[in-house]
Structure 1
Amino acid sequence: MESDSTLSIGELAERAGVSVKTVRFYSDRGLLPESARSAGGHRRYAPEALDRLRLIRSLRALDLPVSEVGRVLERDDALEDVVAGHLRALGSRLAALRWRESALRLLQDCTAEERAERLGLIGAVSVPPGTDAMARFWRRWLFPARLPAPLVSRIVELAVPQPPDDPSPAQVLAFARLHAFVSASCPPGDVRWLAAHRPDAGPRPAVLYEGLDEAYGLAAPEVRAGRPPGDGEALDCFVGAHARSFGAHDSPDFRRRLNGLLSVEPRIDRYWELVGEVRGPSQPTPGAAHTWLRAALDAQVAGTAA
């Protein structure tokens, strides 16, 4: 005799607001165990199966796959991990959609020539975009200096812009151009290499890079505020980093010699221009800080000479 407390598959489906086919699907995959079978071989379910079925429906409504639903049902602590994993995956998909939307807007209202160029640039960038090519660019550039690994990581962190979460069409274009820049077999002919990032800038490059990191940090608020280049702690830190790298003392004579050296050193202004377009004006780049400090040194040396 069948227990009055159990539910048939039809009763369970009706109470849960789903089809019999749905109940059978979850049962066959082990998510909804039967409590017994009737004399005629029909499935019977305990009353608590209704709550379990409702939980399954809620999890599936969040687009969790059946395998993940099974994990949550088996372990009380699995839900947090499953939710975190799907939030990461959803964030990646949303970033890809936002990138595609801005890329499509970029292709609107432009000439045929511009559209062809932009399609080529955008097509070379993964979706969502990554920064591996830029990181490799800097690691190759820094390799001859044999810098400590933590310092290399810090430089790469400062030099490589992360794709904006919600990019404008202009930021998509700047990022794509930056990707093309670092992916080229050699820098374009109009590019000048940035002296502050040369691995051979002084006999002690690690000392220089560490000092420049601090100097750029001190100069960033001045650049952000649009203040004219001038004397101060940032400039002293900038000069001091070079002095320590060369094993010299900071002096008016050293500043004159350093100014002369830096004035003829090549630069990569285009790289930093594109990084600035990707990041926006609220985040001054190391290149912008370097330019500000160079101008401050040049002005100071010129004033001393006068």
Structure 2
Amino acid sequence: MDDENLLAIGALAERTGVSVKTIRFYSDKGIVPPTCHSPAGYRLYDIAALARLELVRTLRELDIDLATIRRVLDRETSLTEVAEAHAAALDVQVRVLRLRRAVLQAVAARGSNPQEMNLMHKLVNLSEAERHRFIHDFIDNTFGGVDANPAMVELLRSSMPELPEDPTPEHVEAWLELVELVQDNDFRTAVRRMSEYQAKERAEGDTTGLHHQLTETVRAEVGRALAADIAPESASAADIVDTLTARYADTFGRTDDDRLRRWVLERLAVANDSRVTRYWQLVATINGWPPLPDLEPVFTWFGRALHAHPGKR
């Protein structure tokens, strides 16, 4: 072997940036053994040992343990397999760090006390299934055991809040508020009343499902009235009521008469709860959906207009 191509341990340390102490440790463990020894007993390393040490240094900087590095060097496992496994592990670590960052930012923004910070931390660190359990428990409690509108139950179960990979403080705060909301007994009682009302309607023959188009019509018509500052008690409001009750009659197959208007008022009294709107707004925030409008002013105006104009003109 050409001694000119051999490096003493100090020269090897200088070439690689690895300390002499660490190289001795690797040599003693057989991870980067010396190529040979000088007549005086000093360790010497060739180019292959240099390349081996540089690989070990790189893998250690990537936080790969020595046992795994030894298997790679001994060709018991491939570098590709190790890289894939550690990349997957790092993905998990990165997600945890992002969650922690979002919690700390939310705590700072809210001025949270230790109890609230602890709750936020626990919530975001739950598994997806564990977080979904809060929502499923809420649905089971409010819709279980009654023949409510199945389309509504399906909508709730299929619209689960999903924390993104890189959550913001707003996502964390929305999760905290949502969990508090679905565990609120007053809110659960109100939603249970809605589900029981739906069951009563279904028992009387209503099989119409959800009414997105009808809701959008009410929002558009009343929205224009609100924008124009039309009072619910005015004659102009009566025309809007006539238009909307006609749509209700068409949607539900009913006669557009005084009885229909009392029935619409009853529906509004049961369904017009700002907390329902807030529920969907929080889910939208967590899932990154477009912001949802607050329909409470719309239905409040419509209810007042129906009271003011109980009969069709």
Q: TM-score range by the shorter chain?
A: 0.5 to 0.7
Indicate how the Cα distance of structure 1 residues 128 and 188 shifts in structure 2: closer, same or farther if over 3 A, else same. Answer: closer
Pairwise CA distance, 1:16:
0.7
For residues 251-262 of structure 1, what are the structure 2 equivalents within 5 Å? Answer: 252=256, 256=261, 259-262=264-267
What does residue 77 of structure 1 align with?
A: 80
Whole-angstrom distance in 2 between the partners of 1:153 and 1:56: 54
Whole-angstrom distance in 1 between the partners of 2:71 and 2:310: 72
Gaps of 5+ in 1: 108-114, 244-248
Pairwise CA distance, 1:261:
4.1
Gaps of 5+ in 2: 227-239
Aligned with 1:265 (options 265, 270, 279) = 270
Higher helix share: 2
Indicate how the Cα distance of structure 1 residues 252 and 52 shifts in structure 2: closer, same or farther if over 3 A, else same. Answer: farther
Aligned with 1:305 (options 291, 298, 312) = 312
What does residue 182 of structure 2 align with?
A: 182
What does residue 86 of structure 1 align with?
A: 90
**1:71-98, Cα deviation, whole Å (9 max, x unpaired):** 8773243324422431332122122122
Pairwise CA distance, 1:259:
1.9
Whole-angstrom distance in 1 between the partners of 2:28 and 2:272: 66
What does residue 284 of structure 1 align with?
A: 292
Pairwise CA distance, 1:103:
0.5
Indicate how the Cα distance of structure 1 residues 64 and 3 shifts in structure 2: closer, same or farther if over 3 A, else same. Answer: same
Pairwise CA distance, 1:18:
0.9
For residues 231-250 of structure 1, what are the structure 2 equivalents within 5 Å? Answer: 243=252, 249=253
Whole-angstrom distance in 1 between the partners of 2:46 and 2:151: 59
1:97 aligned to 2:101?
A: yes
What does residue 166 of structure 1 align with?
A: 168
Aligned-partner SS, 2:291: coil
TM-score by length of 1: 0.59
Are the equivalent residues in 2 in contact too, given 1:16–1:54 (CA < 8 A)?
Answer: yes
For residues 1-306 of structure 1, what are the structure 2 equivalents within 5 Å? Answer: 7=7, 9-26=9-26, 32-34=31-33, 36=35, 38=37, 45=45, 47-66=47-66, 74-78=77-81, 79-107=83-111, 119-127=114-122, 129=124, 130=126, 131-132=131-132, 133-144=134-145, 155-158=156-159, 160=161, 162=163, 165-168=167-170, 173=173, 175-184=175-184, 186-187=185-186, 192-193=190-191, 200=199, 202-203=201-202, 211=210, 219=216, 243=252, 249=253, 252=256, 256=261, 259-265=264-270, 269-270=274-275, 272-273=277-278, 276=281, 279=285, 282-284=290-292, 288=294, 305-306=312-313
Larger radius of gyration between Structure 1 and Structure 2:
2
Give the share of equivalent positions with the same residue, in percent: 20
Amino acid at match of 2:292: P
Indicate how the Cα distance of structure 1 residues 124 and 34 shifts in structure 2: closer, same or farther if over 3 A, else same. Answer: same
Whole-angstrom distance in 2 between the partners of 1:299 and 1:35: 90
Are the equivalent residues in 2 in contact too, given 1:92–1:128 (CA < 8 A)?
Answer: no
Aligned-partner SS, 1:265: helix
**1:60-81, Cα deviation, whole Å (9 max, x unpaired):** 4344555666687732433244
Amino acid at match of 2:190: R
Are the equivalent residues in 2 in contact too, given 1:259–1:297 (CA < 8 A)?
Answer: no
Whole-angstrom distance in 2 between the partners of 1:28 and 1:200: 77
TM-score by length of 2: 0.58
Pairwise CA distance, 1:292:
8.2
Aligned-partner SS, 1:259: helix
Pairwise CA distance, 1:298:
6.0
Are the equivalent residues in 2 in contact too, given 1:121–1:180 (CA < 8 A)?
Answer: no
Indicate how the Cα distance of structure 1 residues 37 and 228 shifts in structure 2: closer, same or farther if over 3 A, else same. Answer: farther
Indicate how the Cα distance of structure 1 residues 7 and 122 shifts in structure 2: closer, same or farther if over 3 A, else same. Answer: same
Amino acid at match of 1:14: E
Amino acid at match of 1:105: A
Say what the alpha-carbon RMSD is for the aligned residues. 5.4
